[in-house]
A = this chain, B = another copy of it.
Amino acid sequence: MPFEVTILGSNSALPTSNRYPTAQVLNVLGRFFLIDCGEGTQIQLRRNKIGFGKIKHIFISHLHGDHYFGLIGLISTLNLLGLKTDIHIYSASELKNLLQPQIDFFRGEMSVNLIFHPLNFKKQQKIYEDKRVEVISFPVKHSIPTCGFLFRETHKPANIKKEMIENYNIPLNKIKDIKNGADFVADDGKVILNKQLTIPPSKPRSYAFCTDTAPHFPNLEIIKNVDLLYHEATFPESMKDFANKTFHSTTIDAGEMAKQANAKKLIIGHFSARYKDVSLFLEEAKTVFKNTVLAKDGKTYSIPGKR
């Protein structure tokens, strides 16, 4: 079952010819979460063959244009395609007002039903959950209210061994309980322990998205032991003062966050438009946190299931 993120845009605010502004799609067990929606997101979705109909949940970290200017175009396209579905948008509450005149201007009825969910920029909050996945928003440290997001698998049932079903003649109505940890009493009264019947589930996986933000160590607790951390590194370390001033992170900041959070892997992105070649960014981040990779538009990064 997939747990993977596809980077649609790895650039920061000013446009470049080779990177799009921030947007990414996270596929968690077939749920497609769109995180940020910079200008050109819908073109990037097409290029990466991600069906528009799959996206039902959109998370907007903050209201700088390079993180949301693509949203009106995406909504318009969902509408032109006549998709009849709820679209949940998690963002600062102002977003609705910013887009409302344009939404009102669409001719005819809206086929999609937009549901806006305001983010809390004071404290962390569970903003989404279903049987298998939950999403937590948490404030980060930027020049305007901004949230990071943690996506994680929750309860994963064990896998039942097929031969045990046969051996002990286990009826269908007991299987769910066994997957969730129950022992089984056989016809002869013998108790078969759960650990004999099942293969343990793989470990729940997690992904954290932190941009735009200065390094913010109070967040280490929420992203602790995350499998994959996307953390902005807008600037190389030589621009540390400017990064501080603009509430952004350097390569070393991102590496430090990953290291202290005990992340398994780090993706750095949100590169300043000043840098066409970002190989220096990778070099620098790796001096602090070895398992770092560069975000690249169109590339997918998977978290394998592990037992």
Contact = CB atoms under 8 A, between A and B. Distances in A.
A97 B100 CA distance: 11
Given A72-B65, A98-B101, A15 B39 contact: no
A29 interface: no
Number of copies: 2
A257 to B, nearest CB: 26
Contact of A14 (B15, B72, B81, B102): B81
From DSSP, what is the main secondary structure of chain A's interface residues? helix
| Chain A contact patch, size range | 20 to 34
A13 interface: yes
Contacts of A144: 107
Contacts of A69: 72-73, 76
A45 B16 CA distance: 9
A72 B69 CA distance: 8
A188 interface: no
Contact of A101 (B15, B39, B101, B105): B101
13 contacts: A13-B77, A13-B80, A15-B42, A15-B43, A15-B46, A15-B77, A17-B47, A40-B43, A63-B105, A65-B73, A65-B102, A69-B72, A98-B102
Given A65-B72, A98-B101, 12 more contacts: A13-B80, A15-B43, A15-B45, A17-B43, A20-B43, A39-B39, A40-B40, A69-B72, A69-B76, A98-B105, A107-B143, A107-B144
